[in-house]
Amino acid sequence: MKPIIGITSDIDENGETFLKADYSRAILRAGGLPVVLPAGLEDIEEICSRIDGLLLTGGEDVNPLLFGEEPKRELGKIAPERDEMEIALAKCAIGKDMPVIGICRGHQILNVALGGTIYQHIYSDLEGPLLQHKQQADRNYPTHTVVVEEGSRLSTYVDGNEVLVNSLHHQAVHDIPKPLVVTARAKDGIIEALESKEHKFVMSVQWHPEALSNRGDETSLRLFEGLVEASKQQ
């Protein structure tokens, strides 16, 4: 049987749930069965017991109150209801050693769920020259390079030690809690990927592989295949 992959969703201005189709398409291509989880979902433990893997998706900013900071003026739109649900789901899934992958906002949520922090706005929080991390090109195209740590799980999906990625964020992970470790950085030092050294399959990336997989990007597809394969053993 195909493993069931729960995919978190977003909330629009009318309170309606929505999700870009790229995420479900990527899971389907990888051999999984995608199930969209409505934002603000209750019965977290029950849902967590019904899925085999979890995909934390991209979206708006993470509420800084969740990691002990007041909101700065550069903070964008937040969705506290979504934050609460996704952090609860992440903690539940990790507690069960369920395969989890976080993408963009999901990368940041995973870090916060385990006790880490994020930069609210990298262009005011960090000194020195930074790359363009909120690209002007279409989201389906890569625009900058990421350097991958040798020996990491991510490195098994990448040809060589560098990969071209798309970039659609102005926040980034900051303090990294155990058991997470950094597995990739942009050439300006921004952390682009994390993974747990204590779990079967817990990892995250700052870019959007679901969009790149629409262009037949093999590295991106391998990430989802890795999630699906690990979920079969759940």
Active-site amino acid positions: 104, 208, 210
Rounded CA gap, 142 and 139, in Å?
8
Rounded CA gap, 234 and 231, in Å?
5
Sequence-distant (≥ 6) Cβ neighbours of residue 189 within 8 angstroms: none
For the chain, the first-to-last Cα distance in angstroms comes to 12
